[in-house]
Amino acid sequence: MHDDRTLTEGRLARVLDQRLRPAVHARSLPLEVSAHHIYGEPVPVSDGIAGPYQPINTGAPWGPAWSTTWFRIRGTVPVDWAGERVEAVLDLGFGTTQPGFSAEGLVYRADGTPVKALNPRNSWLLIAEQAKGGEDFEFHTEAAANPLIFDFDAAGDPFIPTRAGDVASWLRADGPAGPAGEPLYRLTRMDLAVFDKTVWELVQDLDVLSGLMHQLPEDSTRRSQIRTTVSRALDAIDLQDIGGTAGRARALLAPALTAPAHAGAHQISAVGHAHIDTAWLWPVRETVRKAARTVSNVTALMDDHPDFRFVMSQAQQLAWLKEQRPEVYDRVLEKVATGQFLPTGSLWVEPDTNLSGGESLVRQFVHGKRFYLEEFGIETRDMWLPDTFGYNAALPQLMKLAGIDWFLTQKISWNTTNAFPHHTFWWEGIDGSRVFSHFPPVDSYNGDLSGADIAHTERNFRDKGAANRSLVPFGYGDGGGGPTREMLARADRLADLEGSAKVELEGPTEFFTKAQREYPDAPVWVGELYLELHRGTLTSQLATKQGNRRCEHLLREAELWSATATVRTGEPYPYAALDRIWKTVLLHQFHDILPGSSIAWVHQETQQAHQDAARELNALIDAAQRTLAGPSGPDGGEIVFNAAPHNRDGVPALGAVPRGTAPRPVPVRAGDDSSLVLDNGLVRITVDVRGLITSAYDLTARREALAPGTVGNLLQLHQDFPNQWDAWDLDAFYRNTVQDLTRADEVTNDGDAIEVVRSVNASRIRQRLSLPEGARRLDIDTTVEWREREKILKAAFPFDLRAGHSTSEIPFGHVQRPTHSNTTWDAARFEMCAHRFLHLTEPDWGTALVNDSTYGHDVTRDVRPDGGTTTTARLSLLRAPLFPDPEADQGEHRFRYGLVLGADIGDAVREGYGFNLAERTVTGTSAVDPLVEADHGGAVIEAVKLADDGSGAVIVRLYESLGSRAGTTLRTGFPLATATMTDLLERPLTDDPALTTTTDGVTIALRPFQIMTLRLLPRG
């Protein structure tokens, strides 16, 4: 037989795309269309539907960037279409084939009832299942003219800098008075059409067989059989009478579609999904509309497909629908009740888990799970987090404490160096907690159930033999959209098809239950899940990161002092305000906001939200502290409050005392060779005429911290132009070139600080170096007027240490990472996350770097000619990417970091907290005993608050911070009635061990890195 493979497959592609797909709506006529333009912010649905409307023709331009146009479509079904399925085909002139990245629309009936969304892959609207001839109809479409910031269809580089993401560039101050910029879109097709179901089904048949055929080996029997069958079906189609011959072609294809799969075929659980970024290339307000569009789509599909299951994984988005689009939320409630719409994920938003603090992650679970419980009566059991940029090693314990059994993500498949070795496994955290986990081998959270998706899933699955089941999340995402009827048609045909894996529509619970039963002894992965990509997100958009860090600590203070004031004085506890502010902070921890990878509009709003939250939190703190401090005495008086979990300067942890003698910065003195010296009897810092630290000497240990011939606090500037994903990525080759900033404009003695001023290009850097009395920490207060482009600024400290590993703070503990690059896994971890401290040590002496807003760090080491080892730690201070925000990080920034000499891990923990939680001074005379205090240095109290149920119980969350066991007595500053160990939602644990409780405390034992939540009920 002659080989006609190429000829037949080419014929199929052309006939399918150029003849059959258009024939689905072959009989059509134009609709009557009118438009109503909104040039400012979106208006309520009722206002949009009300008009005023003006006629508009197909081909007409519409939509300046970020504006909204309401289209009214009217028509009458022709009499000779009676009994047919009639649809409207509404092509708004979408700027890309990818849903969610350009123009989108949501169709409403005239009474305001939502129907479904419109996007490039879903542009049809049902008018009547069985039309009545002569019937009139009217619909309204809210069309968003979102600019195409990231063009998936463009050839070449899609990461082109654009100012389209800065709202100030597009919306005029006078808003609705008129458009800013030219229209972006043109109406392409607004037609009424007959839907030819037989042709549509033929298209789906050929689509599935084509997809399967192209994935099978070229020499396989099944591929040849499919090709022969397809060729015969194509012969049966009269291209001038497709509707009349489609049935005959389908009959010829039927045997190929009914041949069953092999008994041992891979099992795929297909879960409907639409990843909707809570903000990214669009502002938060647009995400509300994206959620409404997607939910309208999937609930409409559920009406026609009872077996279809869809998951939605961010409680915040459902809360928005409840508040702002109740007509859409009603459909959610309806489909949750039928078991088709599945709230999942257990989180308020899908956060960044590298940068979010520990208590923030607790509240992500608390607010997410509580919303699902209160709204739907559903206890979610999974953490669904497909698209964030790495996963900290405390998460397994947090999941277990939140009642979560299963974890799903996909993002680690983006690793650029090492392929993760498992798809189904147990993930073990720093405390030993394990969670059953799955990485979908489809390598996408936006699957479409194509032949390529299904075949890749089976080929790629790394646990073959031991397991035979995987999950595919299908549906258009990032910008929303969700599954389509075409995807469901594929699922139906792939349920049991020879040559393919078996596909079953179901939810995550069904998948995980089956997968865990099948593979209970899955392999174990211990420690963090480090993403070998997007390392620049640890540094981009510093102001966003600073605002989050500051709000996290302010929330700690506000809860602590408000709870103390309530217990001590009866002052009302600000439940509602704290709940609202927490949700604001959690929202802005979304994995494209906090990492700094969104458009300018998003970061401008985030910074304002953080400022507003900080202002309100400071007011709550001040009010509580003034209540606690009492009135001023006749001679005045001040009370010093310490919110840190460690005693300092005579002030107890979580308490307050009258002002004593506060440590002051030591005076600067002149040294040899025009150097300047800071010396407090514990450490001595020497700074040369270039403003560089030439010596950091521990006077107690008689040890120099810096390697011979090196300088500390060396600012270094690198070119930072990654191959792609500008705001996200930091590619290893950035290290190949470096500019050491060794020239100083000024180095001056400012009395109690050394001030250094440097200029580089158009940027100006001012640093103040000071050393407090009695401290081992050098403080470096930095102000930068940053005007660099595509650069990264680092601060280097080359230590005379042979450190085998670095220790970085993560939520509720720390992780150790090798300082060498023996393996590709070690080498790929060239930029890493640390929260408040990074620690380096030899067995008997160490040093730490602490910070108030820096997350990106790198550590390298080298052996010197003298045989000693230099271990260099660097902080990543600022970046300047151009996409998606060309003005990212431009302007003035102030941040602080510190060098701690002679530090063990406990010192690093203590200094990290103290550096971020400054003492506060309030006029008054009353000391404040702590509500709770731990008598073991390794037991850190992370949160003190009142119980969410309003009972007056005090909730204390603490953890073991050193990686060792800690037996401690938690003393209470109030008579204690009962103490109960709870989960994160403040519910008693079923395996709650017996606690030894007295009237003034409770004795507990903590495992290494164990997190414990206690509910302490005061007496009477």
* Catalytically annotated residues: 387
| Residues linked to residue 70 through DSSP beta bridges, in sequence order | 36, 142
Q: For 494-602, where are the E strands, in sequence order?
A: 502-505, 524-526
For residues 49 and 71, give the distance between their C-alpha atoms in angstroms, rounded to a whole number.
9
Give Cα separations from 934 to 302, 553, 601 (angstroms). Answer: 54, 20, 44
Q: Are 503 and 469 in contact (CB under 8 A)?
A: no
First to last CA, the chain: 93
* CA angle, 11 then 17 then 21, to 5°: 125
Which strands form 28-30's sheet, in the order they lie side by side? Answer: 28-30, 189-194, 86-91, 124-128
If 0-12 CB within 10 Å is exposed, 13-18 middle and 19+ buried, where does residue 111 land? exposed
Characterize the bridge pairing of strands 856-863 and 869-879. antiparallel
Token representation of residue 502 = 């078996």
96 CB-near residues (< 8 Å, 6+ apart): 102, 120, 148, 151, 152, 153
Question: What is the rounded distance in angstroms from the CA atom of residue 169 to the CA atom of residue 166?
Answer: 6
Residue with tokens 């047919």: 84
Cα angle: 937, vertex 938, 941; to 5 degrees: 90
- Write the DSSP symbol of residue 20: I
Strand order in the sheet with 68-76: 54-55, 32-38, 68-76, 136-144, 104-109, 114-118
**Can you tell me the distance from the alpha carbon of 786 to that of 223, in angstroms, rounded to the nearest whole number?**
60
SS (H, E, C) 966-1007: EEEEEEECCCEEEEEEECCCCCECCCCCCCEEECCEEEEEEC
Give the phi and the psi of residue 403 in degrees, each rounded to 5.
Answer: 75, 30
Q: Which residue, chain included where needed, has tokens 């983006």?
A: 414
Sequence-separated (6 or more) residues with CB below 8 Å from residue 883: 159, 160, 161, 162, 726, 727
Look at residues 794, 771, 669 and name the one whose alpha carbon lies nearest to residue 720. Answer: 794
**C-beta of residue 624 within 8 angstroms of C-beta of residue 640:** no
Chain position carrying tokens 């270039």: 690
Cβ–Cβ < 8 Å for 571, 509? no
Alpha-helix runs per DSSP H in 771-840: 824-828
Give the count of beta carbons closer than 10 Å to the beta carbon of residue 554: 23
Q: For residues 687 and 672, give the distance between their C-alpha atoms in angstroms, rounded to a whole number.
A: 10
Q: What value does the CA radius of gyration of the chain take, rounded to a whole number of Å?
A: 31
Give the 3-state secondary structure of residue 632: coil
482 - beta bridge partners?
476
Amino acid identity, position 924: G
Measured between alpha carbons, how far is 859 from 819 in angstroms, rounded to an integer? 6
618 to 290, 610, 624, 653: CA distances (angstroms):
34, 12, 10, 19
Among positive and negative, which fits the CA dihedral 395, 396, 397, 400?
A: positive
Q: Which amino acid is at 125?
A: L
Q: Are 727 and 889 in contact (CB under 8 A)?
A: no
User: 181-200 in b/e burial notation, b at 16+ Cβ within 10 A?
Assistant: bebbbebebbbbbbbbebbb
Torsion sign over Cα 254, 255, 258, 262? negative
